[in-house]
């Protein structure tokens, strides 16, 4: 039982990271009905920017915890800003010119942008993995059994709490701000929204920027949690986050977070009790089962064709 509790904590932590990335997928799909397959690589760029900033600021495990947290907040802001620029550029170059084209055109362009970002980071930062020394060691012992001890680390607490705070803030942004109202209007009908005087191009660009900023935070958390990154993490994490968005119901923000947590739990539990080599098979098998019985996902709404 103690071993299961520990794996549930680990799965919740990993699922929180997947959920933040999945929000970017589901936001873009909800507004323009297209999948931004370069989003996972924006997450990777955010992780590399965070690593560079941490090295520049000289943050180590011996840094005073108050100063360290303050510097990490600055690192997060820088990573979010730079990733936001990448998100805006992707929308401006890969999506806006092709918005009226056939649906596969922006998809192919986004895949091209994804490959470009991977190779750009590989050329500028090298192909080898980049390690980072653990910055926050220690944690709390929840239960000390005879065979296994259940612990939750400071980093796991930080990731889960930060995810909850960001989800709460983002939900308030969607429900109580003019930008959120414009996003909901664009989701319902782009043409009618434009006729009502709402700047659709600006709304869509801001959606890409916000999704990229959340992906940057996920990149920073991934770096701090695992302590190693490379230029290929965007593809693997992006596919998992896209799976989470589809599982939860593409277009649903709560569904994206729930899907992320489920994917994280499935991965961790399957690796713990069966084989880590086939954990991806377990995650995608669950996706297939859910889509067979619930094609719209767990919290997705059936698509109503407008006539």
Structural domains in the chain?
A: 2-293 (1.10.3470)
Q: Give the SS3 label for residue 139.
A: strand
List pLDDT tens digits, range 262-282.
999 999 998 888 888 888 888
Q: How many CA within 13 A on the CB side of residue 302? A: 4
d(Cα 24, Cα 89) in Å, to the nearest integer? Answer: 15
Residue 36's pLDDT is what? 84
Q: Any idea what DSSP says for residue 231?
A: T
Instruction: Count the residues in the chain.
Output: 307
- For Cα atoms 197, 200, 201, give the angle at the middle one, nearest 5 degrees: 130
174 Cβ contact list (under 8 Å, min separation 6):
180, 183, 184, 253
**Alpha-carbon torsion angle 154, 156, 159, 160, nearest 10:** -110
What value, to the nearest 5°, has the Cα angle with vertex 255 and ends 250 and 259?
95
Question: Do strands 228-229 and 130-131 pair parallel, antiparallel, or not at all (unpaired)?
Answer: antiparallel
Instruction: Report CA dihedral (277, 49, 54, 19) to the nearest 10 degrees.
Output: -50
Q: What is the pLDDT of residues 96-154, one digit of tens each?
A: 888 777 777 877 888 899 999 999 999 999 889 999 888 877 788 887 877 778 888 88
Of 301, 219, 306, 231, the residue nearest 29 (C-alpha): 301
| Residues 16-69 pLDDT 10s | 999 989 988 888 887 777 778 889 999 999 999 999 999 999 888 777 778 888
Query: Are 37 and 257 spatial neighbours (Cβ–Cβ below 8 Å)?
Result: no
| Residue 300: pLDDT over 90 | no
Buried b (16+ CB within 10 A) or exposed e, 216-229: bbbbbbbbbbeeeb
């Amino acid at each position: 039982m103690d071993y299961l509790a520990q794996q549930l904590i680990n799965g919740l932590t990993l699922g929180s990271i997947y959920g933040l990335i999945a929000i970017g997928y589901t936001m873009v799909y909800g507004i323009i009905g297209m999948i931004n397959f370069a989003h996972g690589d924006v997450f990777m760029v955010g992780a590399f920017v965070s690593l560079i900033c941490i090295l520049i600021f000289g943050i180590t495990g011996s840094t005073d915890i108050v100063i360290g947290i303050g510097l990490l907040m600055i690192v997060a802001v820088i990573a979010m800003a730079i990733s936001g620029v990448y998100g805006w550029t992707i929308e401006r170059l890969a999506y806006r010119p092709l918005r009226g084209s056939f649906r596969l055109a922006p998809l192919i362009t986004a895949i091209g942008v994804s490959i470009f970002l991977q190779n750009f980071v590989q050329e500028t930062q090298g192909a080898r993995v980049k390690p980072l020394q653990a910055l926050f060691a220690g944690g709390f012992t929840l239960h000390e059994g005879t065979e296994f001890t259940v612990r939750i680390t400071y980093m796991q607490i930080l990731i889960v709490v930060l995810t909850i705070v960001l989800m709460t803030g983002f939900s308030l942004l969607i429900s109580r701000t003019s930008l959120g109202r414009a996003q909901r209007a664009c989701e319902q009908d782009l043409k009618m929204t434009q006729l009502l005087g709402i700047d659709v191009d600006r709304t869509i660009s801001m959606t890409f920027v916000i999704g990229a900023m959340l992906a940057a935070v996920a990149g920073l958390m991934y770096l701090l949690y695992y302590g190693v990154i490379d230029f290929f993490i965007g593809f693997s994490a992006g596919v998992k986050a896209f799976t989470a968005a589809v599982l939860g119901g593409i277009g649903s923000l709560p569904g994206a977070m729930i899907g992320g947590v489920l994917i994280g739990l499935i991965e961790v539990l399957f690796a713990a009790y069966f084989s880590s080599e086939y954990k991806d098979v377990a995650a995608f098998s669950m996706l297939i089962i859910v889509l067979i019985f619930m094609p719209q996902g767990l919290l997705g709404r059936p698509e109503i064709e407008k006539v």
